[in-house]
Amino acid sequence: MKPFLNIILMVVGGALFGFGLALSGMISPRVVLQFLNLKDFGLLLVMGGAVTMTFIFYQLSPRLLGRPLLGGSFNQRLIALDSRLVIGSAIFGIGWGVSGVCPGPAIAALGIGNFQAIWSILGIFAGAYLYGYWSNRQ
């Protein structure tokens, strides 16, 4: 029963996330590019709200719940600020700025029939593949 409940909650969470992206306009490359060109700051409110809510829940959940609702444990993962992180972030940002598409909104855009997002998704998969390929060579 528990794996089924996990799947149901993931689908509901993903649908809610996609709905929020669509409602906020983040699935529209035009809106994203206007934000990146400093012409429309509506997405700043969306991202600020998301960061604020995430911060609150990441801080409060372990204190109030003790353990996750569906089992397991809360873990902290500290990531070092190294050249790989900085370069990867820069490549991600450049891709986002050139295409006007972020990975989550790209997938959500498919849900509303924006099939041009497939090109961005293919680029995302190509980048992930190349990262895995180069990481395994080291």
- Tokens for 117? 């997002």
Residue 82 C-alpha from the chain's centroid: 21
Q: What is the pLDDT of residue 117?
A: 82
Q: Give the per-residue pLDDT at 12.
A: 92
Number of domains observed in the structure of the chain? 1
Percent of the chain with pLDDT over 90: 6
How does the average pLDDT of the chain come out, rounded?
A: 84
Q: CA-to-CA distance for 9 and 3, rounded, in angstroms?
A: 10
Q: What is the pLDDT of residue 52?
A: 94
Q: What is the largest CA-CA distance in the chain?
A: 49
Q: List, for residues 4-63, the tens digit of each pLDDT value.
A: 888 898 899 888 888 888 888 888 878 888 888 889 888 888 889 989 998 998 888 888
Whether residue 71 is predicted with pLDDT greater than 80 in this model: the reply is no
Torsion of CA 6, 11, 12, 17, to 10 degrees: 120
Residue 84 one-letter amino acid: R
Q: Which amino acid is at 35?
A: F
- Distance between CA atoms of 97 and 24, rounded to whole angstroms? 18
Compute the average pLDDT of residues 110-125. 83
- pLDDT score for 1: 59
What is residue 97's predicted lDDT score, i.e. its pLDDT?
A: 79
Task: Find the domain containing 114 and state its range.
Answer: 2-137
